[in-house]
């Protein structure tokens, strides 16, 4: 099952990439929402091989996921892989410079079930795919607006 969202941002690609690759900020944000996240690698610069263990509650159950940065091509691409006992997921963050001060952000998420209970979960997600895609797009739009505001303050 695949979800896609994209949004154009009034900011240079370098600034957008710097924001979307601020892993510490995303980690703090997730922890404020109740997730427990532990960085598992020793890399001092963003690079393929960065790993996090995440524990969070979703649909009334505790979930554990290992997230790995598999590709990192500054300033255009990051690919992630998330592995849990029941689901294997892949995420791509792609940036395209439309002009000097305009960048297109595209987010792809693909979810693959690994067992019967996960297949049932994914099947229920398929029934709500339109609604879930709209919610993802709204989140990406909100994030893009935040990035635009930050870019205006820096200019």
- pLDDT tens digits, residue range 52-66? 999 999 878 899 999
**Extended strands (E) in 31-150:** 36-39, 51-58, 61-73, 77-83, 87-99, 102-113
Do residues 106 and 94 touch, judged by C-beta distance below 8 A? yes
**Running DSSP on this structure, what letter comes out for residue 147?**
H
Higher pLDDT, 150 or 92: 92
pTM of structure = 0.90
Inter-axis angle of helices 116-127 and 129-154, nearest 10: 80
Closest to 39 (Cα-Cα) out of 60, 53, 24, 22: 53
Residue 155 has pLDDT above 70, yes or no: no
- pLDDT tens digits, residue range 17-68? 999 999 999 999 999 999 999 999 999 999 999 999 999 998 788 999 999 9
**Number of C-beta neighbours around residue 57 at 10 A:** 11
Q: Report residue 97 as tokens.
A: 């410079």
Q: Which domains does the chain have, with CATH numbers?
A: 2-154 (3.30.530.20)
């Amino acid at each position: 099952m695949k979800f896609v969202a994209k949004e154009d941002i009034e900011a240079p690609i370098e600034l957008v990439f710097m924001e979307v690759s601020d892993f510490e900020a995303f980690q703090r944000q997730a922890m404020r929402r109740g997730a427990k996240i532990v960085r598992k690698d020793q890399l001092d610069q963003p690079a393929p091989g960065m790993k996090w263990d995440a524990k969070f509650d979703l649909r009334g159950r505790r979930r554990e996921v290992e997230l790995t940065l598999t590709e990192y091509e500054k300033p255009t691409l990051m690919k992630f892989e998330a592995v849990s006992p029941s689901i294997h997921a892949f995420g791509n963050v792609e940036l395209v410079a439309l002009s000097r001060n305009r960048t297109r952000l595209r987010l792809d998420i693909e979810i693959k079930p690994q067992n019967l209970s996960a297949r049932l979960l994914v099947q229920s997600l398929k029934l709500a795919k339109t609604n879930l895609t709209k919610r993802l797009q709204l989140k990406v739009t909100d994030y893009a607006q935040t990035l635009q505001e930050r870019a205006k303050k820096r200019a």
